[in-house]
Amino acid sequence: MIDYISRKANLQLKMQQKQIDAIIITQNVDLYYFTGSMQTGNLVIPAKGEAIFFVRRSVVRAEQESAVAVEALNSLREFEAILQERFPVTFSEAKQAARKLTIATEFDVLPVQHFRRLESALPDVEWVDGSMLVREARMIKDAYEIGRIQEAARVIDIALEHAIAHVREGMTEVALMSLIETTLRQNGHLGLMRMRGYNQEIITGMVGSGAAAAEPTYFDGPAGGRGLSPASPQSSSNKRIELNEPILVDIGCCIDGYVIDQTRTIVIGGLDDQLTFAYRIAESILRSTETYLRPGTMCDELYTLALGQAAEAGLSEFFMGFGADQVKFLGHGIGLEIDELPILAKGFKLPLEAGMVIAIEPKFTFPGRGVVGLENSYLITEQGYTKLTCSREGIISIHP
């Protein structure tokens, strides 16, 4: 059972510490996290007291799903009067202190046009950015969330093994990806992977082989893939899979909104010495990182450690991309979105905490040749960590 009361209380504590009177949440994923419903509307959570979900569409569906009170909202022109009536204590406290009401909202994802409408509806408000409040509240996973991510890991393993059994020389990348996606969908994958970053999109992941996998693109990851078209310049292409080239299977699965993130390296035949060596270094980086996965470890220290290991192996220029297209992180939080907090990156001085779920993905990109590496997802526990990913590791070699 999902404890929405604790989720709200956790956010309210953060709001009180920042002296924020209320927060208005509009983004689908955040609405779902705090209410259990993803209908269009404005969720208002005061620093103290009960929340109300003001819904535009569908009110009927929201009433069936939402864990908080639902009210229909036909027009934002009525919003200020409604809020004053529903949250009298919040408004009166600000008035008694002779100050404006301070309201937060999600500046990182809220369209400017929508924000301007909120500003017009609530003209006497001091607006502040509540993005980090929400993201930090969602950073620590509860038992339900962990269970869904574990189920996604189980399903992705089924899909990977099915793919391994059917991959053949000459089949296209997109054919292999379609095979994986079909298996995932048949086992509960929602068919989408959500990302918070602006203009960042993801399908089910990336299945790329040889040179196509190493082609750079806008996607904020170490391997984007060629894609089928400049209209979607990432993931699988119509390139045919060849012997002795790395096949990067970097895929996710979304169960009840929650995602797992996993990468494995496959080859039909065998990899050459340099690619094999790079894969072994990726494994070594992952094993070293695992020894530090415990509460209190600083996120940026894990990235620095990985950079040092890649440099020691003489592979710095290929680590997490190539040249100007290298990404500057080792791992990232996962949950309802694929790019959650924390981030294992330079300058991200946040200690690991029990309840965080992190995908760690050391990879090496060789232009014109391919990408090798692996990725696991982990739950940080009081004692250290639990590996949520359950698929086999190592270079998965298939006899031609």
Phi, psi of 335, deg, nearest 5 = 175, -115
pLDDT score at 95: 78
To 10 degrees, what angle do helices 4-17 and 131-139 make? Answer: 140
Please compute the mean of the pLDDT values over residues 10-18 and round it to a whole number: 97
Asked if the bond preceding 230 is cis, omega within 30° of 0, the reply is no
Query: Percentage of residues in the chain with pLDDT exceeding 90?
Result: 95
Confidence label for 400 from pLDDT (cuts 50, 70 and 90) = confident
Q: Are 86 and 43 within 8 A, CB to CB?
A: no
What single string gives the DSSP state of each residue in 306-364? HHHHHHHTT-GGGBTSSGGG--SEEEEE-SSSTTEEEEEETT---B--TT-EEEE--EE
Predicted confidence (pLDDT) per residue in 108-154, tens digit: 999 999 999 999 999 999 999 999 999 999 999 999 999 999 999 99
Confidence label for 240 from pLDDT (cuts 50, 70 and 90) = very high
Domain spans of the chain? 4-138, 140-398
Domain covering 140-398 in this structure, CATH number: 3.90.230.10
Phi, psi of 198, deg, nearest 5 = -60, 130
Predicted confidence (pLDDT) per residue in 15-57, tens digit: 999 999 999 999 999 999 999 999 999 999 999 999 999 999 9
Domain covering 4-138 in this structure, CATH number: 3.40.350.10
Q: What is the dihedral of CA 346, 33, 177, 262, to 10 degrees?
A: 40
Please compute the mean of the pLDDT values over residues 52-73 and round it to a whole number: 98
Which region among 97-101, 192-196, 291-295 has the lowest average model confidence (pLDDT)? 97-101
Equal CATH topology for 4-138 and 140-398: no
Which region among 68-72, 82-86, 93-97, 188-192 has the lowest average model confidence (pLDDT)? 93-97
Please compute the mean of the pLDDT values over residues 245-274 and round it to a whole number: 98
Residue 109 has a CB neighbour count (10 Å cut-off) of 16
